[in-house]
Structure 1
Amino acid sequence: MAQPAESTFPQRQTDAASARVPRPARPVRPGPPPGPRVTVSVAGDGRAWGDWIADRLERHGLRAPLHHWDPPAAMELRAALAGLTLSGGRVLLVFSAGYFQPGVRTGREWDAALAAVTAAHPGRFAAVSVTDPGNLPRGATALGPAQLTEAGAHHAERLLLRRLGLPDTPAPGTGGPRFPLDAPDVWGGVPRRNPRFTGRAALLARIHRRLAGSVRGAAVCTLLGMAGVGKTQLAAEYVHRFATEYDVVWWIAAGTGEEARRQLAGLATELGIRSGTGTAERLRAVMDALRRGEPYHRWLLVLDGADDPEAVAGLLPSGSGHVLITSRNRSWDTYNTLLLPVPVLDRPESIAFVRRRAPRLDAAEAGRLAAALEDLPLLLDQTAGWLNDSDMSVGSYLRLLEGGIGDARTVVAEDFPMTFAAAWTALLDRIAETAPDAGELLRLCAVLAPGTVPVTLLGRIRGDFAPLTGDPRRLQDALRLLARYSVVDAMETADGTEITGVHLHRMVRLLVREGVPAPERERYERAVRGALAAADPGRPDDPADWPAYAALLPHLLPSGALEADPEETARPVLNCLRYAYLAGIQDTGLALARRADRTWRLLLPEDHPRRLDLLHAHANLLRATGQYAACEELDRAALERLLGRRSTPDSDILRAATALAADLRGLARLQEALELSRYVLDGSRQTFGEGDARTLAAQNNTAVSLRLLGAYDEALDLDLRTLRARRRLLGPGHPWTLYSELHYATDLRLTGRTEAALELQERTVRSHHRVLGADHPQSLRAGHGLALCRRGAGQGERARQGMERLLERAVRLLGRRDPLTLMTAAGFCCLERESGDPERALATAELTYTGYRELLGPAHPYTVGSDANHALALLAAGDRAAALGSLSRALLAMEAAVGPSHPWALDLAHNTRSTEADLPPYQLRDFEPLTI
């Protein structure tokens, strides 16, 4: 389905979002009566500074609530800063590197916002800096922030007090948060802080909350996730961010049990413990000291990369301290630890992370890269780093990536211990050696599409793999092992007894796939293609089976279904194309159809039945996106070729003629379309019989041609007969029956039977939502018809609101240039002109006219009609001269397109005469595009 364009139809003006109001993040210290208020605004990476500053200010009798600075990227920076003043008092900005949201906000944005807000609130803002002065935007420098990192605690406190205009005598007393530049007494093995660390604020807060809130002896938290998801980086950031709360921080690389024991035993010297020289003796002494909390009771132990719980579980000390573990092994949940899954980055976090790593990329490019790499931090870091140092575009890189992971270069980031491929290869080799079933299943998943794979599909795979995939228990055991090592994410039933689907990250899939030799890969692909054919329900017209096709379609290309013998794979391919057309996902279907056309041209003769089936499916998808000229070229050639070889109409000829008639309707060659529609209807009655579904489809199409020509009464009679027949044959809830209801309701409205049309339209909208869902294109058409019926019934404002919601949905789902979006926009601009904002109506009318002109050309009646609607919007805005000129021009063009007696031309003539006579606008008639 098309993605919405960056620019869209005009939105109604609303008040700006209210700024976030600061809230105290910690209780005020007990002491003297509260004095003046100073809100301390601090970002996550400056949290320790915020605690220390608030404590110092409270010791001097001020109220100093902390405000966590993390405004959404979509929030205007000026509004967010102004929101800090809403709670009263002064505001102290604690400038850290993360405060400026690098990768999200630009220096220019900060300069403008700070200048505007400080000017609007003189004397309210002060600032201190805890980062390198080179990181400060010019606007921040203009605030004259006190640099707190150049000396010790006493000097920093004096600078802080002076900046706020307070006496600079440090407060007496001890206790309180440690000065952030004072490291814990014992600090060992901790990786340096990653200056590009981005986001994860909620997860860091959750880790802190879990550890701080645990009972003594049970404060053990395991960060669980796949390789490259950022577990080690998250643990390192936690250590740096909360270091002031600990007296001992000891980091252990726990890849093997022996290495972990040796490193933990090394803590003995730092704790001042005198014991034997052997590792075992020193280890026992360290564990005892940590348990007793002597000489330190505030300690943090980090076991990084502890993927073998059995080997290191004995190293978890009890006591008053905290233990943080990073691992890929889910088995840690049996060792009395709290598991915290580490997901990939949120998309806004990914975009910010990429832009910090590669400043030359804009937000859109960063978003495309993040989507392709599925937000995995290690891959984002390595890839963005290489792209920033090269002149390759993101688009070129992504095309390179499609060729395989081996073709896409990455560089090793200094902040990560190993590359993505190296991190995974060791684990995958281990799985292949120790768990052959899991390794085999992983290779089968790699032949399928990236993303979620339903277990029901894996269970259909036979051939060489039948002993594994045909045994549910064996299959579940292999899946659970892959999930245990975070190779896949598993979806389980509510009771956790069965895995129903697995998600394999795109890059892990590529790595596994390319590790299989080409001849061996064909064996896996052949087995998967057999499973896909078995999973095809064979009923793409039935919405009840659409979920099955939605699960089937993504796997056709990766399994080699288009390159294989079409006799083996054509059925699921063609049925998926039919599903894509009916379900309204034309872009997905077109990509598949183009790929199939390229390969089947090489494998099948031109007149092969499968080639004809593919041509029909391809043309349907093109037509649904308004590409009528391209369709007409394909369909006319196919029809002429068939007619040259066969003397009487058969199903292939009638199908090709049906498609060509639809193309002609789209091109506004309406009389030709009607003649061809009648030819198909007569032929269908003779070939299939009066009550056949194909004959009813031909009858429906003939009514469409009649309606477009203005023969509304004839169309109504034919649509009513079709509706009744479809209800009998297909049932009242079938999509084609519902489509007939839409057409019949349109006929009722166009022939003046407004009350009956409204009643039927309200009912069919509910039926569409129930059967197809509110976002299906046919449901959007139903909503469009309902809004027009309400307008005709005098419910103008209700109609306008409904059409506005439909337009927003159509833009989001289909894009701004889709025919259905343009039809909805045409209706909305007329309703907005009558009961809304004339200026907005005018802007929408301009965009609608431009859209139709680009899609259909300047002479198409829909383009001409939207030009006429634009003239009515000009008239409502007070520009009568321009409106009259546009109407006169449009009238001539419409008469040339459809003839002077067509209702569209007659309405335009009426509007032109009324405008010349300066009659009130309510007597004018809007042009209404109809479904082609």
Structure 2
Amino acid sequence: MARLKCCWIRKSREWALSAARTSAATGDGQSVTISFAGFNRAWAAWIGDRLEQRGHRVTYLRWDPPPHTPLADALRDLLLAPGKVLVILSEWYFQLGPRTHTEWNEALRDVVVPAQDRFAAVSITSAVLPTATAVFAAPELWPVAAAEAERRALAALGLPADRAGDPARSAGPRFPREDPEVWGGVPRRNVRFTGREQLLGDVYHQLQQAERGAAVCTLYGMPGVGKTQLAAEYVYRFGSEYDVVWWVPADKRATFREQLAKLAPALGLNTGHEYGERLRALREALRRGTPYSRWLLVLDGADEPEWLTELLPTGPGHVLITSRNRDWREYNSTMLEIPVYQREESIAFIRRRAPRLSRPDADQLADALEDVPLLLDQTAGWLGDSDMSIGQYLDLLGSGAEHVVKVSKDFPTAFPNAWSILLNQLKETVPESIDLLRLCSFFSSGTIPVRLLRELADRDLPPQFTRLLGDPLLWNRALNQLFKYSVVRREVHEPQADEASGGDTLYMHRMVHKMVQDDIPPEDREVFADVVRQALAAADTGRPTDTRQWPRYAEIAPHLKTASVLESDRREVQTLVLNTMRYMYLAGEYSAGLTLATATLESWRERLGETHPRIWDVSYHYANLLRATGNYAGTEVVDRAVMDHLVAERGFSDLDTLRAAAGLAADLRGLARYDEAHDLSRRILDGYTELVGEQDSRTVNAQNNLAVSLRLLGRYEDALRLDLSTLEARRALLRPRHAWTLYSEIHYATDLRLLGRYPEAISVQDQSARVHQQVMGPNNPQTLRADHNLALCQYRQGDRTRAGELLASVVRRAETALGESDPVTQTAALAYSAYGREHGVLDEARALCEAVGGRYLAVLGPRHPYTIGTNANLALILRAAGEREQSQLLMDEALDGMERAVGADHPWTLGCALNATAARNFAGDPEGAEVLSRDTVRRAREVLGERHPLTLSGLVALAADLRALRKRAEADKVEEEALAGLAASLGAQHVHTVSARSRTRPYWDFEPLIT
């Protein structure tokens, strides 16, 4: 019932903007009809709300008479409405049509003067209005505060103000001169916005009627049709009904994440500076509706829904999206197609933009430009200042202008010629604006950080740019000319408090971007591109491993391709390319990083030669990115070729050679050639120690990699000692929240867990996982690894519920951010499969395990320990499902295969042996089970120690096998030893201890180690 009531309240506040709606207010109040221009809807909503609170009945009538209807007739129609008619006076009310002041004065004298008792008015503008509006004696509301404005509006209607409404009522619209509590990124209001009334009403209707958590509306349509302008107008018309309005450019993933994260501190959320933590806190705050439930989030240019939906908030607020992509319908969004202008809208817009044009002229122009708003805006903008007749312009447009430009099929066909004419006009007025426009076109379309160009003012630049970039007056004049003709728009006007740098950020439509690029003479392209490349290089902080610098790299990265950075021989530009690759690797942007690295290798090999030092730099980053996707065989080919060449040319004791060797060692680890990887890692560490000393970060990195090799060899104690030393060194050399320091925390906690020291592991990993969320964000690959390890720590400690929830979250986030085939995703999925098996969800556990096993088989082959170990886990699922024969076969195969892959004494082999003892026992071979159990316990004691959980599990299994052979005395003795060891190392109430006490046979789950 409460939910139905809430829905009724929400629906009662809807606006049918194309027709009158009578409110449901009751009581003895009067009837008032509010007549308003759509542009001033917020004032009508506020005044109507104040009247309704006093029990008056309100009817809303949007003023938009058809152009051919006489004004006097339209005004008389207002008298058909109930009660007194309150007219909200503004320049917009009188511009609709458009009509002259003379026409208005005549109509007001004919209609309003004889019926003054039926009319009242308030003024919300300081603009000059028709002189006959004096008949209204309208009080001014725009210069006063809310309380006084309310008193004046009531007085104009002859109503008492003694029964004051509740000024703090949160459900009603706010006073229009008061911005929402939180407001950010919204473009300036387009004072030339025309028409679209039905569409605006449709957007409002869709968002208001949607269920909680499902209020998502997408405006889609072809380029230049005005999707962004419609969204902006919605914000200004309906913004008074929200407490939070936040506008986010969504055409580039990194920029979108960064700008969205800035909402968190604006909401007053207690977070750190890193946008990963902010995004996590923000989604939760919006979902809960705290501190604000009335929020509006606008995603502009969101053409890639697959990477946006993971951050799309739910909750009581609204999400408005502009996009060219119809696929948003697959993501539970309401779709509204935005067409070109209706002809009357086109005519009204043109005449407002270029008042000198007659209605027939506007009609001809609209027809020639296909009613496309962007074209109308740009063309009418300069025609309004020109003395060219419409006939001359149409002749010029039809002649094909100066050249033919090929554009995408979804561009309006009228655009090329219209653009050429506009470009000529710019050249004749402010020639420098063409240079600025061309510079902007070597950034990618959409958001352009044009401030980076201004920061080059003191650089050694070609003479044609020195004055433009160094003279603030000329710079502003050129910018203003581009704004004037709607060639670009200013993207953000109110800088956020924590922006790295201020200055202009522009938005260039992709149609304009292409036209500008195609207009540049071939001989001039390199000059313009080089200036932009210098600007991008100057913005490079040189610290891609510092998470605090990632927003800067996220801003730079989208522009590298357009600026043709790979064609530059400047060292600083090449360094920028390499640093961006490093950032993409650390930030988990593997696909984008591989694309950049592949293109760079191809370009630089041709420009610099196969053996240039820069090629080794690119190869290093390329191999890292490729290895991150699990393609170890591919990276080994790359790294071995580089290393062999460098060893032959420079020897092993060379920094470039050691770096290449480190990559090769990582490949060998991925290929399960652990002994080779260990030996090479040891040589690398010795080499760095000799060349740069023990305290250099490269030496510490080599020490970290040697510990990884030791862990994969099952030498957990040795790995622990080395990882602790590495962690301490990184904390001293770098900083506690540096990405590499945090990585060492994962490794150290992993060693503790593998040694059975679960409480210690949790104490390290729990804190580390929280910091990872804050510093790197929830979907960074390293954060996912941290959460995965924390879930395993919780699981081993016996906190199965929390572990299961966290594992499910890791799998979901990893699949979304990295894909199903990523090593992190597969490792987490295998762990979640084991969790499902233990909790009786066998079908899902089996499907997940088989999927992971199939991918390991395809990529790593049948003899890789990860493929073998996954089959060992599948055998446990089959046993739980009652398929014992197939389970025993798989367990025996896993034991044999793992021994061949990593040796008889490796912990993985011992784990497979533990499972195989159970299979033999259940199959009626207690003798075979006893023999294997004794051997497993002996080896586990030698490798892992007396108190390791795997050793103690082996003792529990051995006791069961002895009991099956009726060797009860020995069985009791072995069981007593096992229980005492478990109680001492894990605790008497630990899940493993309790399970052993109840004589439940233990098992072992294989866990791939992420390298």
* Shorter-chain TM-score range: 0.5 to 0.7
Q: Equivalents in 2 of 1:700, 1:481: separation in Å?
A: 57
**Contact 2:65-2:74 within 8 A present in 1 as well:** no
Q: Which residue of 1 aligns with 2:452?
A: 457
- SS at the partner of 1:503? strand
2:548 aligned with 1:689, yes or no? no
What amino acid maps onto 2:513 in structure 1?
R
Q: Which residue of 2 aligns with 1:904?
A: 908
**Contact 2:101-2:130 within 8 A present in 1 as well:** no
Shift of 1:842: 2.9
- SS at the partner of 2:649? coil
**Contact 2:440-2:450 within 8 A present in 1 as well:** no
Q: Equivalents in 1 of 2:904, 2:1009: separation in Å?
A: 19
What amino acid maps onto 1:444 in structure 2?
L
Q: Which residue of 2 aligns with 1:493?
A: 494
- SS at the partner of 1:917? helix
User: Counterparts in 2 of 1:219-234, with a 5 A limit?
Assistant: none
Q: Equivalents in 1 of 2:603, 2:116: separation in Å?
A: 74
Q: Which residue of 1 aligns with 2:682?
A: 678
Shift of 1:632: 0.7
**Contact 2:568-2:574 within 8 A present in 1 as well:** no
- SS at the partner of 2:745? helix
- SS at the partner of 2:505? strand
What amino acid maps onto 2:65 in structure 1?
V
**Contact 1:291-1:318 within 8 A present in 2 as well:** no
Q: Equivalents in 1 of 2:575, 2:336: separation in Å?
A: 35
Q: Which residue of 1 aligns with 2:754?
A: 750
**Contact 1:755-1:793 within 8 A present in 2 as well:** yes
Q: Deviations over 1:99-142 (max 9, x none)?
A: xxxxxxxxxxxxxxxxxxxxxxxxxxxxxxxxxxxxxxxxxxxx
Q: Structure 1 pair 473/524, CA: closer, same or farther in 2 (3 Å)?
A: same
**Contact 2:452-2:535 within 8 A present in 1 as well:** yes
Shift of 1:271: 8.8
Q: Structure 1 pair 714/508, CA: closer, same or farther in 2 (3 Å)?
A: same
- Farther off after superposition, 613-622 or 437-446: 437-446
Q: Structure 1 pair 499/915, CA: closer, same or farther in 2 (3 Å)?
A: same
CA RMSD in angstroms, aligned pairs only:
5.2
Shift of 1:655: 1.2
Shift of 1:483: 5.1
Q: Equivalents in 2 of 1:495, 1:702: separation in Å?
A: 45
Q: Equivalents in 1 of 2:741, 2:12: separation in Å?
A: 65
Q: Which residue of 1 aligns with 2:66?
A: 250
- SS at the partner of 1:249? coil
**Contact 2:432-2:478 within 8 A present in 1 as well:** yes
**Contact 2:449-2:505 within 8 A present in 1 as well:** yes
User: Counterparts in 2 of 1:640-659, with a 5 A limit?
Assistant: 640-659=644-663
Give the alignment partner of residue 437 of structure 2, picking from 413, 437, 442: 442
Q: Deviations over 1:428-469 (max 9, x none)?
A: 655554455554433322210223223441322442334333
What amino acid maps onto 1:249 in structure 2?
P
Q: Equivalents in 2 of 1:269, 1:921: separation in Å?
A: 91
Q: Equivalents in 2 of 1:633, 1:292: separation in Å?
A: 90
2:218 aligned with 1:349, yes or no? yes
Q: Equivalents in 1 of 2:420, 2:745: separation in Å?
A: 58
**Contact 2:188-2:493 within 8 A present in 1 as well:** no
Q: Equivalents in 2 of 1:892, 1:835: separation in Å?
A: 28
Q: Which residue of 1 aligns with 2:573?
A: 569
- Farther off after superposition, 501-510 or 524-533: 501-510
Shift of 1:634: 0.8
- SS at the partner of 1:447? coil
Q: Equivalents in 1 of 2:527, 2:761: separation in Å?
A: 58
User: Counterparts in 2 of 1:150-549, with a 5 A limit?
Assistant: 209-210=41-42, 212-213=44-45, 249-251=65-67, 284-286=105-107, 332=191, 349-350=218-219, 369=325, 377=338, 406-410=406-410, 419-421=414-416, 430=425, 433-436=428-431, 438-462=433-457, 463=461, 464-471=464-471, 475=475, 479=479, 482=482, 487-493=488-494, 499-549=503-553
2:730 aligned with 1:914, yes or no? no
Give the alignment partner of residue 809 of structure 1, picking from 809, 813, 830: 813
Q: Which residue of 2 aligns with 1:556?
A: 560
**Contact 1:450-1:506 within 8 A present in 2 as well:** yes
Q: Equivalents in 2 of 1:282, 1:777: separation in Å?
A: 67
- SS at the partner of 1:409? coil
Give the alignment partner of residue 841 of structure 1, picking from 829, 845, 862: 845
Q: Equivalents in 2 of 1:467, 1:668: separation in Å?
A: 61
Shift of 1:590: 0.9
Shift of 1:408: 1.8
- SS at the partner of 1:924? coil
**Contact 2:731-2:741 within 8 A present in 1 as well:** yes
Shift of 1:379: 9.3
User: Counterparts in 2 of 1:103-122, with a 5 A limit?
Assistant: none
- SS at the partner of 1:557? coil
- SS at the partner of 1:890? helix
Instruction: Work out the percentage of aligned pairs sharing the same amino acid.
Output: 38
Q: Structure 1 pair 25/820, CA: closer, same or farther in 2 (3 Å)?
A: closer
* TM-score, normalisation: structure 2: 0.57
- Farther off after superposition, 618-627 or 877-886: 877-886
- SS at the partner of 2:565? coil
Q: Which residue of 2 aligns with 1:199?
A: none
Q: Which residue of 1 aligns with 2:397?
A: none
Q: Which residue of 2 aligns with 1:603?
A: 607
**Contact 1:657-1:680 within 8 A present in 2 as well:** yes
Shift of 1:762: 1.7
Q: Equivalents in 1 of 2:680, 2:38: separation in Å?
A: 67
Shift of 1:787: 1.2
**Contact 1:347-1:367 within 8 A present in 2 as well:** no
* TM-score, normalisation: structure 1: 0.61
Q: Equivalents in 1 of 2:542, 2:712: separation in Å?
A: 34
**Contact 1:405-1:507 within 8 A present in 2 as well:** no
Shift of 1:405: 7.6
What amino acid maps onto 1:924 in structure 2?
Y
**Contact 1:817-1:855 within 8 A present in 2 as well:** no
- Structure 1: stretches of 5+ with no match in the other structure: 1-17, 29-42, 56-174, 178-203, 217-242, 252-262, 299-308, 322-327, 355-361, 386-403, 413-417
- Structure 2: stretches of 5+ with no match in the other structure: 25-30, 49-58, 78-98, 120-124, 139-186, 207-214, 224-303, 308-321, 329-334, 343-369, 371-403, 923-959, 961-998
**Contact 1:476-1:498 within 8 A present in 2 as well:** no
Q: Structure 1 pair 441/886, CA: closer, same or farther in 2 (3 Å)?
A: same
**Contact 1:330-1:484 within 8 A present in 2 as well:** no
**Contact 2:870-2:1006 within 8 A present in 1 as well:** yes
2:743 aligned with 1:927, yes or no? no
- SS at the partner of 1:645? helix
**Contact 2:104-2:130 within 8 A present in 1 as well:** no
Q: Structure 1 pair 378/673, CA: closer, same or farther in 2 (3 Å)?
A: farther
What amino acid maps onto 1:454 in structure 2?
P
Q: Equivalents in 1 of 2:4, 2:866: separation in Å?
A: 44
Q: Which residue of 2 aligns with 1:392?
A: none
Shift of 1:514: 2.1
Q: Structure 1 pair 843/288, CA: closer, same or farther in 2 (3 Å)?
A: farther
Q: Structure 1 pair 247/616, CA: closer, same or farther in 2 (3 Å)?
A: closer
Q: Equivalents in 2 of 1:765, 1:905: separation in Å?
A: 30
Shift of 1:574: 0.9
Shift of 1:687: 1.9
**Contact 1:379-1:420 within 8 A present in 2 as well:** no
Q: Which residue of 1 aligns with 2:711?
A: 707
- SS at the partner of 1:875? helix
Q: Deviations over 1:172-192 (max 9, x none)?
A: xxx999xxxxxxxxxxxxxxx
Q: Which residue of 1 aligns with 2:863?
A: 859
Q: Equivalents in 1 of 2:446, 2:875: separation in Å?
A: 49
Q: Equivalents in 1 of 2:680, 2:336: separation in Å?
A: 52
Q: Which residue of 2 aligns with 1:4?
A: none
Shift of 1:743: 1.1
Q: Which residue of 2 aligns with 1:229?
A: none
Q: Which residue of 1 aligns with 2:590?
A: 586
Shift of 1:27: 6.8
Q: Equivalents in 2 of 1:632, 1:506: separation in Å?
A: 41
**Contact 1:479-1:499 within 8 A present in 2 as well:** no
